[in-house]
Structures are given as C-alpha cells and as structure tokens.
Amino acid sequence: MRKTALAALLGTLLLLAGCGQVQRPALPEGLRDAALGVLEGLSGSRWSLQDPIDDFFAAVDARDAEAVRALFSPNVQAADGDLDESIQALLDLYPGPTEDCEMLTPVGASKHLEYGRQTMVDVHNSLPAVCGGVNYYCSFSYVTKDEEDPGNVGLRKVVVATEAARCHPDYYQNSLDLEDGLSVVTAPAAEGETRRIGDEPFAFTPYDRTVTREELPAFLETDDSWEGFTARFGPPNAEGWLGTGYYYELVPEDGQARYVHIYTHDFGDGAQRVWSVYLYNGRDSRELETVWKNPKGEET
C-alpha cells in the first residue's frame, strides 16, 4: 500500500499572499531556529536542492542551453516539446551573471512512502535570483529519488518570473496551470512600481516623505490606533494580500533599504490598532528585529 507523506511544509512559516508572501510575525529566536532546523531535517539537506539551483544558474550564465536542458529529468526532456524554446526565452530574458540565488526559506519535500520506506522524494522551494541588480522570482522542483521510475530524477519544474509578472493579481492562479518543464513568465505584468521587501515582491507606491525607525515606537506609545498612525505617517507603500499587513519604507541605513511590516488587530473595542511592527531589509526573509509590540496583545 502506498501513501504520500508531506514531510515539510513551506507554509509552516510563510502565509501565501497575492503579490509576494506575507512575512509572518516574529517567533522567539530559539523557537524559530528550532522550527527551521526541524523543517530542514524532514526535507533532507538543503543542498539536495541548492546544488541543482546553483548548477542551473551556472549553465544559464554560461549561455549553455544544452547544459540547462541536461539538468531536467529524462522524462521531462522527452515530454516537454517546448523545452528548448523556453530555455532560449530564459537566455534572452536573463543576461547573467547571477549575483545571488541562495534559498532563503526552508526546503519543502513531498515523499512517497511504501511500507515505511521512501520510494520517491521531490524537493521544492521558491527564491529570488538577482542578475544585474534586477530580481527574478523562481521556483524549483527537483526529484532526488524515484525507485519506480528513475527517469523522473532531475529537475521536474522550474518557473522564472519577472518582478512585474509576480506582482500581477492573477499570477498565483495562472501558475497553477503551469506544466512540468521550464516556464518563463513575463506577462501579464503589474502596472506601476514594484519593490522587493525581504525576499518577496510587492506592488509599491512611493511617497515623498521621510519615516525613521526611531519615531515609530515613540508615536505608538501615545496612539496605537491605525487611524492615528496613517494620519501621522500617511498611507502604506505596500500591502500584503487581503490587507494582512502593511509596509512602510524607512530611511535607509548604511546605504541599505529598510522597511517595516505592520500588523493591525481589533482588540475588542471596534477599532483597528497597530499590533506589531517588524523591521526588514531588501533581501532576507527573516525580520531584522522587532520595532514595537502592542502590550494589549499580551492581554488577549
């Protein structure tokens, strides 16, 4: 008898959102590191996927279409009649060299078990790749083992999307229809400016204003209402999906972009109040620090 066990869920630490993912509230450092360790342990070494990702971008940077093709499983190479065309589309879009393609979140893994023994392992993750200072958003699925059909071993599915495409409202729905092989997504594209916050892209509205990290907790100690906050600092630069979080651009620190992610909550008085504020940079998936937490949250 065969059953499928989902060994690690990326969604354990990330809530999926429309344009970008909604960064989760900060966990205590020890608990967070333990959770990441458990996820990585369940899914196997992160290098079971990071190595193929590195090989993929090395081949792309070398403009070696055959090397890119060879990384896909034999079955994908045989079944995807558009693979060569997709590889060429990627080479046309992505000039190289790759500046960053490191996974920033835990690896997920789907494992098929038969009588308690693993017979198939498919590892997968999403990550930004940076080339020429431009962010591309990628997802990789890689079969490391398949006893029933070794022809499935290799890259199963790769998606490379531009930032504007990733920020289009229909991206996630459309991505469900993408087949195994290589997909290069440039359209439909979101209108207006986009911005990477942490490791995710967002539709972004710039404002002519200056907001510093230090003034946020000072203000919130006197007025924690969302209405008061937006009256003082203006509308957010970006929003998480369905209003699950708000993002404000701060004054850069040491030349590096800084943002805060703000959660709001109704503590029972009918008013939306700022619940927590977390500091992010323009690369990492984890918050840099907690800027402020509402003491009312400890009472609920």
Q: Is the pLDDT of residue 125 over 80?
A: yes
Are 43 and 145 members of one domain? yes
Domain extent at residue 282: 205-298
What average pLDDT does the segment 237-249 reach? 88
Are 13 and 132 members of one domain? yes
Are 127 and 20 members of one domain? yes
Are 122 and 211 members of one domain? no
More confident position, 27 or 177: 177
Q: What pLDDT does residue 247 have?
A: 98
Are 133 and 216 members of one domain? no
Are 259 and 234 members of one domain? yes
* Cβ atoms of residues 291 and 259 within 8 Å: no
Query: Does residue 257 fall inside a structural domain?
Result: yes
Are 21 and 122 members of one domain? yes
Query: Does residue 237 fall inside a structural domain?
Result: yes
Are 33 and 117 members of one domain? yes
Q: Is the pLDDT of residue 37 over 60?
A: no
Q: What pLDDT does residue 149 have?
A: 96
Query: Does residue 24 fall inside a structural domain?
Result: yes
Q: What pLDDT does residue 83 have?
A: 98
Q: What pLDDT does residue 6 have?
A: 36
Are 76 and 149 members of one domain? yes
Mean pLDDT score of the chain, rounded to an integer? Answer: 86
Q: What pLDDT does residue 21 have?
A: 39
For residue range 41-100, list pLDDT tens digits in order. Answer: 444 445 589 999 999 999 999 999 999 999 999 999 999 999 999 999 999 999 999 999
Query: Does residue 256 fall inside a structural domain?
Result: yes
Query: Does residue 258 fall inside a structural domain?
Result: yes
Q: Give 286's contacts (C-beta < 8 A, 6+ positions apart).
A: 32, 198
Q: What pLDDT does residue 300 have?
A: 55
Q: Quote the pTM value.
A: 0.82
Residue 15 sits in a domain of what CATH number?
3.10.450.50
Are 175 and 211 members of one domain? no
For residue range 246-281, list pLDDT tens digits in order. Answer: 999 999 999 999 999 999 999 999 999 999 999 999
Query: Does residue 161 fall inside a structural domain?
Result: yes
Query: Does residue 171 fall inside a structural domain?
Result: yes
Are 32 and 142 members of one domain? yes
Which of 190, 222, 246 represents a domain boundary (last residue)?
Answer: 190
Least confident of 15-24, 57-66, 78-87, 128-137: 15-24
For residue range 177-233, list pLDDT tens digits in order. Answer: 999 999 999 999 999 999 999 999 999 999 999 999 999 999 999 999 999 999 999
Q: Is the pLDDT of residue 9 over 60?
A: no
Q: Count of domains in the chain?
A: 2
More confident position, 170 or 9: 170
- Give the chain as a DSSP string: -EEEEEEE-GGGT-B--SSS-BPPPPPPHHHHHHHHHHHHHHH--THHHHHHHHHHHHHHHTT-HHHHHHHB-HHHHHH-TTHHHHHHHHHHH--S-EEE----SPPEEEEEEETTEEEEEEEEEEEEEEETTEEEEEEEEEEEEESS-GGG-EEEEEEEEEHHHHTSTTHHHHHTTPPSEEEEE--S--SS-EEEETTEEEE----S----TTHHHHHHTT--BHHHHHHHH-S-SEE-GGGS-EEEE---BTTB--EEEEEEEE-SSSSEEEEEEEEE-SS-SS-SEEEEE-GGGGT-
Q: What pLDDT does residue 47 have?
A: 55
Query: Does residue 264 fall inside a structural domain?
Result: yes
Reported as a pLDDT band with limits 50, 70 and 90, residue 10 is: very low
Q: Give 89's contacts (C-beta < 8 A, 6+ positions apart).
A: 184
For residue range 151-187, list pLDDT tens digits in order. Answer: 999 999 999 999 999 999 999 999 999 999 999 999 9
Which of 164, 190, 216 represents a domain boundary (last residue)?
Answer: 190
Are 178 and 217 members of one domain? no
Reported as a pLDDT band with limits 50, 70 and 90, residue 117 is: confident
Which of 166, 190, 214 represents a domain boundary (last residue)?
Answer: 190
Q: Within 13 Å and on the Cβ side, how many CA atoms surround 175?
A: 23
